[in-house]
């Protein structure tokens, strides 16, 4: 059984690792609430049995955590997002909730800025950041001690060499956020009958994945766009736009249908037509839980 989580203490002795998730707080009742709020589809989710403490996803499932959806994860994922995870060689369960803000920002900026979104463009400006932590584990013999979980430790961060908007995001989550895990269906490659997102069980964490920044036309175009955006917008501004439009750019099929006239662009940055494309008729649009949870300083 797992209890509270804390940042890893600065000691020379590394605690033992654990791949066990512990008994999940994401009961069928919790999933029902997520279904009612439109976060997941009933046919796509499965709560683990009450006596199961380790991940055992089916071949078309991945392990996810409830707060991922608070922080903007939505299925089915765009193929570009799936390719991002493949390039880094990481899995959804290894990420922190804040991680999913970055791909949403990327897809929003690329599609509203008329730049082709590619996994290589994402890798050009983002890196994997490892956030070590420990959890207190109660063992079968009733003894307890610190262990290092092999999940919930990676996040996407801007490369130090990349332009970036002023950051604003929530980096602290409830101490028990990793306890609410469940299974979610994914789409498989029809030819390979598999997905780079799938893994049979939680593996040991490798060294922090590193991918060299690609030099492609699309990646260079996104860097140019990001440099312009960073002059006029903060991360908070951009997330506020996404939340006001009630969209999740990581979701498959999300598109921008119309743009504002060029005279309404800001510093040469293409702007979507918020009135026609997203039915926003006035200022002061309600900002939903996604915005409130992701942007706390």
pLDDT digits (tens, 9 = 90+) for 93-143: 999 999 999 999 999 999 999 999 999 999 999 999 998 888 887 766 667
pLDDT digits (tens, 9 = 90+) for 47-66: 999 999 999 999 999 999 99
CB-CB contact of 242 with 110 (8 Å)? no
> Distance between CA 152 and CA 119 in Å, rounded?
22
The domain segmentation of the chain, as residue ranges, is 2-294
First and final C-alpha spacing in the chain = 31
The bridge status of strand 126-130 relative to strand 61-65 is unpaired
> Distance between CA 159 and CA 124 in Å, rounded?
8
Place of tokens 């959890």: 135
pLDDT digits (tens, 9 = 90+) for 234-282: 888 888 888 888 899 999 999 988 888 888 888 788 888 877 777 655 4
CB-CB contact of 72 with 248 (8 Å)? yes
Instruction: Enter the DSSP assignment of 272.
Output: B
Q: Comparing C-alpha atoms, which of 22, 8, 16, 6 is closest to residue 145?
A: 16
Burial class of residue 31, CB neighbours in 10 A (0-12, 13-18, 19+): buried
pLDDT of residue 289 exceeding 80? no
Place of tokens 């989550």: 173
Predicted TM-score (pTM) of this structure? 0.86
């Amino acid at each position: 059984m797992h209890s509270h989580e804390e940042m890893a203490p600065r000691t020379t002795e590394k605690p033992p690792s654990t791949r066990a998730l512990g008994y999940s707080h994401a009961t069928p009742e919790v999933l029902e609430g997520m279904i009612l709020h439109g976060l997941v589809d009933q046919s796509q989710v499965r709560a683990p049995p009450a006596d199961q403490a380790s991940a055992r996803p089916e071949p078309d499932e991945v392990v996810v955590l409830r707060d991922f959806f608070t922080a903007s994860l939505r299925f089915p994922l765009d193929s570009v997002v799936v390719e991002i995870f493949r390039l880094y060689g990481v899995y959804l369960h290894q990420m922190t909730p804040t991680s999913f803000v970055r791909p949403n920002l990327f897809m929003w900026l690329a599609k509203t800025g008329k730049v082709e979104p590619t996994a290589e463009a994402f890798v050009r400006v983002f890196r994997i950041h490892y956030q070590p932590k420990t959890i207190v584990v109660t063992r079968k013999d009733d003894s307890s001690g610190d262990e290092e979980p092999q999940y919930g430790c990676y996040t996407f961060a801007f490369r130090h060499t990349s332009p970036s908007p002023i950051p604003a995001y929530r980096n602290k989550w409830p101490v028990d956020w990793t306890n609410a895990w469940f299974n979610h269906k994914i789409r498989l490659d029809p030819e390979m009958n598999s997905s780079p997102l799938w893994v049979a069980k939680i593996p040991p964490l490798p060294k922090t994945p590193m991918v060299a920044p690609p030099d492609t036309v699309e990646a260079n175009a996104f860097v140019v766009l990001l440099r312009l955006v960073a002059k006029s917008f903060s991360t908070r501004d951009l997330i506020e736009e996404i939340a006001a439009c009630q969209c999740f750019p990581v979701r498959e099929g999300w598109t921008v249908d119309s743009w504002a006239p060029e005279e309404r662009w800001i510093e040469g940055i293409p702007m979507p037509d918020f009135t026609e494309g997203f039915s926003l008729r006035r200022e002061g649009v309600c900002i939903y839980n996604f915005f409130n949870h992701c942007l706390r300083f």
